[in-house]
Amino acid sequence: MSTCERCGAQFHCAMADAAPGQEPTGAPGETPCWCTFLPPAVPVPGQDAVGCWCPDCLRGHIAALNTP
């Protein structure tokens, strides 16, 4: 399980939480993380990158960005 860097909630990240004994590789055929289906909203990777956010925090952040 991963921990949301924003609120502390526990959630599953397919990129960080590989099956026991298996490292995520990003190889074709691996299931991408749920977050890859959302619009980009935070800098990743890079000096200003944030850690993983749970679905609620990331969706809330994206909604706030799109609110006029």
Q: Which pLDDT value is given to residue 13? A: 80
Residues 6+ apart with CB under 8 A from 55: 11, 34, 35
Q: Which pLDDT value is given to residue 67? A: 78
Q: Which two tokens stand for residue 60?
A: 């809330």
Q: Which two tokens stand for residue 9?
A: 């909630």
Each residue's pLDDT tens digit, 5-45: 889 999 888 777 666 666 655 555 566 778 888 888 766 55
List residues bridging with 10 in a β-sheet. 3
pTM of the model: 0.67
CA distance 44 to 40: 9
Q: Which pLDDT value is given to residue 37? A: 83
Q: Which pLDDT value is given to residue 48? A: 58
Query: Could you tell me where the DSSP H helices lie in the chain?
Result: 55-65
